[in-house]
Structure 1
Amino acid sequence: MNNFRNLLIWQKSMALVTGIYNSTKAFPKEETFGLTSQIRKCAISIPSNIAEGFGRDSNKEYLRFLNISVGSLFELQTQLEIAKNISYLTTEQFNKQYEDSREVERMLISFVNKIKERK
């Protein structure tokens, strides 16, 4: 594969970012530089690190960036839970975003394991 855009995991994580942006549009204005910003940064970090790692010279470096993506994903899941708990997200919005994030999580973990097997 010669382009990170061809990776299904990158495509799914990009769709997750779009969903996150749409879900956080209605957050209170006082959260613009708080939870809204933090959630969006985590979401953006996932496909960004997948892409950056793809461009690296070694599997070791690629794994490092994929692991950063996993960490950002777990941070995102935690923040989505917080947003639901304080009623910034409806249960329906939370369930959709959380399930989308879980799909990306499963794919990322599987991808990391495949890269590890190549070593």
Structure 2
Amino acid sequence: MSFKFEKLIIWKKAMDFGEDINNIIKEFPKHEMYNLSSQILRASDSVALNISEGSIEQSDAEFNRFLGYSVHSLAEVVTCLYKAKRRDYISVAVFDKLYKESFDLMNMTIAFKSRLK
């Protein structure tokens, strides 16, 4: 027995991505705890949360809408990553890795969305 979303590769990747973000914010300065740290964590967690929420008892059009929210959350994460890099909270290598993960996950989600139409 499992939920529909648990079988989705995009959900699994989004779950891993959220954990990657959670690991990097542990190194952010304490004064960012309620600012950038919180924002990037909520946005990254929102990617998987919207995939799961949209998959349950929703029409394809409704699921498509929730997948769109996931893509929007990824854009928010990328902007937070830029902020973190500019403030020297993460290295260029960490930024590049997470940027690529974001980009790949976005493309996978958009491709999945297009199959629902």
Do these two structures clear the TM 0.5 threshold for a shared fold by scoring above it?
Answer: yes
Residues of 1 paired with 2:107 and 2:58: CA distance? 25
Which amino acid is 1:112 matched to?
K
- Tell me, which stretches of 5 or more residues in structure 2 are unaligned? none
Give the alignment of 1:59-74 within 5 angstroms: 59-74=60-75
Q: Secondary structure at the match of 2:90?
A: coil
Give the alignment of 1:1-119 within 5 angstroms: 3-116=4-117
Residues of 2 paired with 1:71 and 1:80: CA distance? 14
RMSD value, Cα:
1.3
Post-superposition CA distance 1:65-86 (Å, at most 9, x none): 1111111011111111111011
Q: TM-score, normalised by structure 1?
A: 0.93
Residues of 1 paired with 2:66 and 2:58: CA distance? 12
Deviation of 1:103 after TM superposition, in Å, equals: 1.1
Residues of 1 paired with 2:60 and 2:107: CA distance? 20
Deviation of 1:64 after TM superposition, in Å, equals: 1.1
Residues of 2 paired with 1:99 and 1:26: CA distance? 20
- Structure 1 residue runs of 4+, over 2 Å off? none
Task: Give percent identity, aligned residues only.
Answer: 39
Which amino acid is 1:89 matched to?
I
- Tell me, which stretches of 5 or more residues in structure 1 are unaligned? none
Residues of 2 paired with 1:108 and 1:8: CA distance? 10
Residues of 1 paired with 2:106 and 2:60: CA distance? 19
Residues of 1 paired with 2:90 and 2:51: CA distance? 27
Q: TM-score, normalised by structure 2?
A: 0.95
Q: Secondary structure at the match of 1:89?
A: coil
